[in-house]
């Protein structure tokens, strides 16, 4: 029996079990009729539309390709639906990007629902064996206060497991008023992680993958010294438990408090409360000109300055902090969207040669899955790789047309390091208003000043940026800076395939930075 036949038998057996369970529960699952399993072609699922487009250019009519994350959705935060689980159960091959691009629950859902023997490929990692360039994630933004996140550093001797998670739980909070830690989604909806207003319990926790970190918003309802005790442990219950207490000086000068006078004050830049399983402690990881430093929690105090006193947004979703309009001390998340990632930039496809490596991986695995159609997969892949050569040249020519002094890129998303590295640009910064905030006139002026300081003619905003785009347009008008379009993780209504996405970015960059666009793909 062919590989296709073996996989089809396994899939039909799994679907039969799912259908039987559904019937017993009185549930009708669309697609579990005989017609759904009658198509003999291999079924490929991908996490994102970009990966689906790459796969379809290789698969042609010989395989069926389905994306789990719909166009316009954020793969960093997309939560799988029951329908997604059904599509996964039918699949003969699963393709994700990973390197922590996708929400981990989506990755776990894929692994849990695939039929036995079906491969799940992390294309970014597979592509590195075909010459794809892997670069570190560089987060570059100007902040008026410290940016405080959460991080896990795994013991190097621990086995790598993308399903493994660390539980970070707040076990105690002491100080005036309430403490809140939360994340804000791409479209502005908050999700509470830690909330001391009703004491602490098992709900005051979050999960992080191995060697990951996440951006967090913080709010404090009163000024004074706040102490937050955290415990880190492996979610499956094995291994050590790490405990430590984070001290924050909220709305007050830490130097004026005798008990804090010998501590190092952290009041700017990027810092992460870190579960360091390598050294067996909770620590604070801070960025410095010489690289990241790990500091003991008993050595530092985090300063939340008086100027961080801002009103709670009017959106009812933020009522868990305080009454809308109430002033509370806030440390912004700095990046819109649930944003969990590791040290490697996962957005490889912004370098077209990396996307070509993805195509080669897809081609080889489709041939292994369905050798009867080897010739078709090989020919379509070869044709598409030649098309991507022209796309790569298109982007190269666009950037070369931009005056060298204007080849600086400012965006609202840390997703363009590969574009900059491949085509000769510099990431000048990533600018975003505070998530969840309704920017005041003063906020817009501060953002306008930041844009002036960066000395760029344009800032680039993704179509899924939501209220960020409105805030930037207002600030850009004050600073006499254009707001232009750029495409990152997903397609939009008019940019519906990968080749057009890259050409649209090329045209937009050239048009807005003083170059010569070769087309109008950014204005379709």
For residue 152, give both structure tokens.
Answer: 């896990």
Exposure of 376 in the CB half-sphere (CA atoms within 13 A):
12
Q: Is 361 helix (H, G, I), strand (E, B) or coil?
A: helix
Res 465: pLDDT: 58
Nearest to 362 by CA among 116, 123, 97: 123
Contact indicator for 345, 137 with CB cutoff of 8 Å: yes
Beta strands in 72-189 (DSSP E): 93-96, 119-122, 147-153, 165-174, 179-184
Cα(100)–Cα(382) distance, integer angstroms: 29
pLDDT reported for residue 470: 67
Tens of pLDDT, residue by residue over 216-268, are 889 999 999 999 999 999 988 888 999 999 999 999 999 889 999 899 999 88
Residue 502 has pLDDT above 50, yes or no: yes
pLDDT tens-digit profile of 50-77? 999 999 999 999 999 999 988 877 776 6
User: What is d(CA 484, CA 507) in angstroms, rounded to the nearest whole number?
Assistant: 11
Q: Is residue 189 within 8 Å of residue 145, measured between CB atoms?
A: no
Q: In this model, does residue 468 exceed pLDDT 60? A: no
pLDDT in tens, 308-317: 888 887 778 8
Measure the CA–CA gap between 231 and 483, rounded to whole angstroms.
43
3-class SS at 214?
Answer: strand
Element at 224 (helix H, strand E): strand 224-234
Select from 395, 404, 447 the least CA-distant residue to 426: 404
Q: Tokens 């329908």: give the residue.
A: 83
The proportion of the chain whose per-residue pLDDT surpasses 90, expressed as a percent, equals 49
Q: Is 256 exposed, middle or buried (0-12, 13-18, 19+ CB in 10 A)?
A: exposed
Q: What is the mean pLDDT of residues 481-493?
A: 90
């Amino acid at each position: 029996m062919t590989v296709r036949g073996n996989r089809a038998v396994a899939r039909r057996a799994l679907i039969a079990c799912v259908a039987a369970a559904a019937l017993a529960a009185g549930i009708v699952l669309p697609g579990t009729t005989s017609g759904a399993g009658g198509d003999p072609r291999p079924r490929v699922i991908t996490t994102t539309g970009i990966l689906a487009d790459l796969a379809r250019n290789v698969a042609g009519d010989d395989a069926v390709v389905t994306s789990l994350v719909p166009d316009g959705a954020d793969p960093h935060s997309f939560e799988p639906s029951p329908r997604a689980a059904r599509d996964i159960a039918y699949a003969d091959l699963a393709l994700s990007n990973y390197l922590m691009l996708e929400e981990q629950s989506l990755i776990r859902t894929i692994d849990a629902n695939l039929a036995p023997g079906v491969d799940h490929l992390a294309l970014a990692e597979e592509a590195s064996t075909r010459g794809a360039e892997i670069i570190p994630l560089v987060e570059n933004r100007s902040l008026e206060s410290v940016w405080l996140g959460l991080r896990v550093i795994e013991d190097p001797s621990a086995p790598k497991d993308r399903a493994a998670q660390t539980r970070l739980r707040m076990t105690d909070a002491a100080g005036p008023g309430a403490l809140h830690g939360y994340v804000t989604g791409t479209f502005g909806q908050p999700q509470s992680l830690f909330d001391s207003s009703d004491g602490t319990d098992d709900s005051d926790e979050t999960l992080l993958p191995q060697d990951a970190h996440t951006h967090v918003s913080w709010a404090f309802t009163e000024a004074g010294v706040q102490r937050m005790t955290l415990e880190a442990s492996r979610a499956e219950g094995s291994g050590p438990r790490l405990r430590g207490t984070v001290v924050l000086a909220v709305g007050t000068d830490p130097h004026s408090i005798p008990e804090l006078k010998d501590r190092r004050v952290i009041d700017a830049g990027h810092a992460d409360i870190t579960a360091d399983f390598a050294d067996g402690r909770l620590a604070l990881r801070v960025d410095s000109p010489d690289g990241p430093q790990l500091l003991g929690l008993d050595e530092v105090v985090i300063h939340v300055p008086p100027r961080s006193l801002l009103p709670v947004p009017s959106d009812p979703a933020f009522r868990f902090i305080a009454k809308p309009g109430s002033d509370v001390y806030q440390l912004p998340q700095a990046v819109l969207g649930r944003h969990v990632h590791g040290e490697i930039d996962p957005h490889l496809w912004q370098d077209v040669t990396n996307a070509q490596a993805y195509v080669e991986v897809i081609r080889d695995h489709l041939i292994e899955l369905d050798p009867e159609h080897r010739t078709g997969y090989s020919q379509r892949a070869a044709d598409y790789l030649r098309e991507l050569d022209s796309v790569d040249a298109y982007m190269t020519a666009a950037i070369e047309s931009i005056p060298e002094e204007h080849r600086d890129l400012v965006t609202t998303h840390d997703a363009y390091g590969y574009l900059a590295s491949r085509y000769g640009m510099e990431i000048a910064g990533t600018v975003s208003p505070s998530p969840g905030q309704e920017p005041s006139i003063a906020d817009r002026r501060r953002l306008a000043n930041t844009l002036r300081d960066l000395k760029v003619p344009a800032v680039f905003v993704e179509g899924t940026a939501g209220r960020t785009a409105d805030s930037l347009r207002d600030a850009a008008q004050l600073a006499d800076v254009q707001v232009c379009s750029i495409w990152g993780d997903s397609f939009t209504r008019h940019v519906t395939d990968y080749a057009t996405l890259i050409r649209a970015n090329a045209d937009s960059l050239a048009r807005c930075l003083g170059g010569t666009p070769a087309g109008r793909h950014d204005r379709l």
